[in-house]
Amino acid sequence: MPDTPLPSISRLAELRASGTPLSRTDYLINFREEYPRCTQVDKLEVRQTFREPGYAPWEAAQAGDWAKASHLAEAERPALARQYEEATARGCRLRRVRLVELPPSDYVLWEMSILRLRAELGEEIGVITSAGITADDRPGSDRRSSLQHPPPSEYAGTGRPRDNRSVRAAVHARR
């Protein structure tokens, strides 16, 4: 049997390799077109801040309503569960690595709740800290907080994680 490359997000890889920046809309169009044929999706997240206007859980966190943000994220569980069930049924692995600079930004603390939900549903998620990684290895890294209202200390458990073990505990990385 000849070796055939696994289906991937090839068009997106070509565009990235060409240096062509994609708008969010163009990225989503390309991703949605190619995703149904993929057998594996790998995502590396390095930005420490990110804006997600229109995404209700992020908007609630941005407004300082962390309880509402958690509730809204949890309300997405059934739709995400269907997405992961469909991916599993067609043999697609969903994997993500999240780089966290210490201390984590407010955005990253908020994102941990989203990643925990995704991990509980079957996405393979790893969290690593930036210790020993040079600035050249972190494209798009940005330390500024993107949230106007930092999370209350109880949102992150016992406050801001300060070491690798605490950050990893914030997300149940694998089933």
- What's the confidence (pLDDT) of residue 136? 57
Q: Is the pLDDT of residue 1 over 60?
A: no
116 against 173, higher pLDDT: 116
- Specify the DSSP class assigned to residue 58: H
Where do the domains of the chain lie? Answer: 37-137
pLDDT in tens, 67-78: 999 999 999 999
From the list 58, 74, 75, the residue with the least C-alpha distance to 151 is 58
Q: Which of 52-56, 81-85, 130-134, 149-153 has the highest mean pLDDT?
A: 81-85
Q: Which two tokens stand for residue 23?
A: 């708008």
Please tell me which residue, 53 or 146, carries the higher pLDDT value.
Answer: 53
According to the model, what pLDDT value does residue 14 have?
Answer: 65
Task: Give the pLDDT band (50/70/90) at residue 174.
Answer: very low
Average pLDDT, the chain: 74
What pLDDT shows up at residue 46? 86
Q: What is the pLDDT of residues 34-54, one digit of tens each?
A: 888 889 888 888 889 988 889
Task: Please provide residue 30's backbone torsions phi and psi, each rounded to the nearest 5 degrees.
Answer: -65, -45
Alpha-carbon separation of residue 153 from 37, 146, 148, 150, 160 (angstroms) = 42, 17, 15, 9, 7
Q: Which of 72, 74, 124 is nearest to 95 (CA)?
A: 124
Q: Which residue has the higher pLDDT, 127 or 13?
A: 127
Q: For the whole model, what pTM was predicted?
A: 0.66
Strand 40-45 and strand 124-129: pairing?
unpaired
Does the pLDDT value for residue 7 go beyond 90? no
